[in-house]
Structures are given as C-alpha cells and as structure tokens.
C-alpha cells in the first residue's frame, strides 16, 4: 500500500518500505516520485532505513559541497564490494581522501589519457581486421569490453598471460553487471571479484618484492609505491582494490560506447557528420550520449556536516540519495530532455558540473566526483572515430530495448553488428 504524506516536514512517498519498488523501477525510482510529489526532495524507506532522495542541479550542488557528506555506510554492501570495496578512495574523507585522490589524478594527465586511447585504437584496428576475416555477427558490448580490458591492462602495466584477456574481461564485466541487483548476478560478481583481487594483489606483491618490473609511470607501479597521508604504504589488499578501481571502470566505458553506436543507429545523419567532423562535434555527441543514456542511477552519502536546504535541516548521519539520472533528464536544465540533441553542447563550453552528472557532480579535485570522467570522454570519442570512419557494418534486426528497470541497462541484444569490414 502506498500513500503520500510528510515526514519531518518533507514530502514522503508514503510507502512502508520502497526497496522492492527501487529494484523494480530502477533508474525511474527517484524521478517518478519527484514528479508525483512535485518536489525535488522527499523521504522514503529503503532496506528499512529512512532515506532522503534529492534531485536537480541545486540538489547535486548541495550534495557535492566538499566535506559535507561521507560515502561510508551510504551504499549497500552488495554494491560497495563490487564497485569500490572497503578501504578505497571513495570511502575516505578529509586529508586521507585528498591524498589518495592525488594518486588517481596523477594518472589522468592528458599524455597518459592519450596513451590509453592509442592503445585502445590499436586493439580496435586488430579487432576490425579479425571481424572482417571471420564474417558473421558480433556482439559489440562483449567485443568492446575485451578491447578496453586489454588496453587498460597495457596502460596500467598489468601483464596478461596467453588467453587471459577473456577471463579477466569476464571478471570485470561480472562486477559491473551485478552491481545493481542483490540476486544471482550480484553473487556471481562477488565470486569473480574475489578472484580478481587475488590476481592483482599478487602482482602488487611481486612489484614490491622486485620480482616483477613494470614501467615507472604505470598505474601498477604508482599504486604499489603510493603512501597515504600517514606515510604508510597501502596494504596489498587495498592496493589491489584501487588498481581494480582503475581497470574495472575503464571496462565499464564499453557501455557508453555501445550507447554511442545505438545513438548513431537512431540518428544516422550524425555518422557522416562525425566522419568528417571536428573534435568539437565528437565531444558534443559524446556528452549527449552521457547525458541521455543510463549509467549511474544515483549516488548515496551520509551527512557529516549538518546543513539546511529547502527549509529542512539535514542532521549528521542522515542518509541521502542524489538522483544523477533524473538530473540529466531534468527539463528545467535540458529542454525536451528525452530527445537526442548533441547541439546542446555546441559551441563547446565546459558543462555545468552540477547539471551534467552521469558520473557525479562537483569539482573532481576537491570532492568525490569520478576522476575517470576524462578517460570516459576520450575513449568514447576514440570509439566514434572507429565506428564512423575506420569500419563499415550493418545493424541486423534485433532487440535494442533499453530497460530502465535494470541497473545497469545495456541494450537487450548487446548491440549486434553484421558484415563488419574496414572503412574506405
């Protein structure tokens, strides 16, 4: 039974507990209630805990004020252990967080990102030749995950043995696919996550013991030698967690690349435009893919520093969920938000950090915004160059439905390509 009412002065969705509704509705859970309650903030109960849900640009700006929220205790354990895990940078606050964040930001220089894109481009080219020689159909999501896993490992200095790429890709894909559920997909992801952690922990220990030599500027070397704010090296398990937190999100960019292919299929006029277009047009197309298509539904935090917003006082320990997907579809920010319009981002200007929030909001250096956003944009732009210029293909009839009740929500078919061949 669902009613509407008020809880401590805030609108309430009126449900005794909305956990099953969240699992059933997925990305639409917060936006649907905001529309029904005519409010950017409401209370609900999830897993028998009171939660405050907030949506919109102002809400995201409040959520990402540095030091205001902690991520500790704000994410279900079943999700935390697949996407971040204990001891990771996202679970830290204050100087500990800033010091660990420098590790990641130090790996995100323009030169480093360009090297990753070049490694991915080389793997794209090899795959295109293989697809042409093999003929038949390919599932783009599966193939791009392997491309990105191989490129990420090369970039990070992580050695892959003969035949190991498929196995490691499968592990990272299971973590991604299982993160939005508490059922069998999650259990499989947990099992394969433990296997990945053992593998990476072993590599960290080999580097520290001098038994494995890797490039001095590699991510593996950086993580193995990093020292936290107290001067101590990372425990091997935490070092493994942080290296996985570089590799797994890179593999997850495959979802955006498949969404970009989906957008090209639905908007074919953009194929020719991008094939001979400017970097600004590639960037605009990429940003509109990130805005329109589903990635992270929401982000959770617990209040560290009490504050007031919209006439309500948020107390220390309050559990707050900020609506990322709904903010990206907010008609106050994005006119006709369900339409695909890359022109929104032309001429190119830095987007509002609290309006375009597919990977979080706020300032990446000062807060908890994902530092991998730059990598995401660069890899999607690189993939668009391949899809629009380096290869030709057909899209056979298939189920391209994107089910917003599923988190994450790839096209049902994984996006099948047929008769792939090299571009002219």
- Binding site listing for heme: 370
Q: Are 43 and 11 in contact (CB under 8 A)?
A: yes
CA neighbor of 354 nearest in space, from 346, 364, 344: 364
Q: What is the dihedral of CA 406, 412, 414, 420, to 10 degrees?
A: -160
The Cα–Cα gap between 83 and 407 comes to: 13
Q: What is the rounded distance in angstroms from the CA atom of residue 265 to the CA atom of residue 258?
A: 10
| Residues near 94 by beta carbon (within 8 Å), at least 6 away in sequence | 67
Q: Which two tokens stand for residue 367?
A: 């807060």
Both structure tokens of 124: 């794209």
* φ, ψ at 108 (rounded to 5°): -110, 30
Enter the tokens of residue 287. 């940003």
Query: Beta 319-323 vs 49-55: how paired, if at all?
Result: parallel
Q: By the 8 A CB rule, do 327 and 357 touch?
A: yes
| H or E segment and range at residue 157 | none
CA dist 281 → 120, 237, 261, 419 (Å): 21, 42, 15, 27
Which secondary structure element, helix H or strand E, spans residue 391, and what is its range? Answer: strand 391-394
Binding positions are 370
Q: For residues 407 and 178, what is the distance between their CA atoms, to the nearest angstrom?
A: 8
- Distances, alpha carbon 409 to alpha carbons 80, 255, 383, 384, in Å: 19, 9, 20, 20
Report the candidate in 346, 196, 328 with the shortest Cα–Cα distance to residue 279.
Answer: 346
Q: CA 380 to CA 394: how far, in whole Å? A: 20
Neighbours of 25 (CB within 10 A): 17
N-term to C-term CA, the chain: 60
Q: 139: which residues sit within 8 A by CB, 6+ positions away?
A: 413, 414, 415, 416
């Amino acid at each position: 039974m669902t009613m509407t009412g008020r809880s401590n002065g805030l609108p309430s969705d009126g449900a005794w507990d909305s956990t099953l509704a969240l699992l059933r509705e997925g990305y639409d859970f917060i936006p649907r209630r905001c529309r029904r309650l005519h409010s950017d903030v409401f209370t609900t109960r999830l897993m028998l805990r009171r939660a405050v849900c907030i949506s919109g640009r102002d809400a995201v700006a409040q959520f990402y004020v540095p030091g205001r929220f902690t991520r500790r205790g704000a994410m279900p354990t079943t999700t935390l252990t697949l996407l971040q895990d204990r001891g990771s940078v996202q679970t830290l606050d204050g100087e500990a967080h800033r010091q660990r964040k420098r590790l990641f930001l130090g790996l995100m220089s323009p030169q480093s990102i360009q090297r990753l894109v070049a490694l991915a481009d080389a793997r794209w080219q090899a795959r295109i030749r293989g697809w042409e020689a093999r003929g038949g159909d390919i599932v783009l999501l599966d193939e791009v995950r392997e491309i990105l896993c191989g490129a990420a490992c090369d970039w990070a200095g992580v050695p892959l043995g003969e035949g190991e790429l498929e196995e490691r890709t499968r592990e990272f894909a299971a973590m991604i696919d299982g993160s939005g559920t508490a059922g069998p997909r999650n259990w499989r992801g947990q099992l394969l996550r433990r296997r990945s952690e053992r593998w990476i922990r072993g590599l960290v220990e080999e580097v520290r013991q001098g038994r494995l030599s890797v490039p001095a500027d590699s991510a593996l070397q950086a993580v193995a030698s990093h020292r936290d704010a107290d001067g101590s090296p990372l425990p091997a398990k935490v070092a493994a967690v942080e290296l996985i937190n570089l590799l797994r999100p890179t593999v997850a960019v495959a979802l955006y690349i498949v969404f970009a292919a989906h957008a090209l299929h639905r908007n074919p006029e953009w194929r020719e435009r991008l094939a001979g277009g400017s970097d600004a047009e590639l960037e605009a197309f990429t940003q509109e893919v990130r805005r329109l298509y589903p990635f992270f539904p929401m982000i959770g935090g617990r209040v560290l520093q009490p504050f007031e917003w919209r006439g309500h006082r948020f107390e220390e320990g309050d559990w707050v969920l900020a609506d990322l997907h709904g903010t990206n579809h907010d008609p106050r920010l994005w006119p006709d938000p369900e339409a695909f319009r890359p022109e929104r981002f032309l001429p190119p200007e830095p987007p509002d950090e609290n309006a375009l929030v597919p990977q979080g909001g706020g300032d990446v250096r000062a807060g908890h915004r994902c530092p991998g956003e730059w990598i995401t944009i660069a890899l999607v732009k690189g993939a668009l160059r391949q899809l629009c210029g380096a290869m030709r293909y057909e899209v056979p009839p298939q189920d391209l439905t994107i089910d917003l009740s599923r988190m994450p929500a790839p096209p049902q078919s994984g996006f099948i390509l047929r008769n792939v061949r090299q571009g002219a």
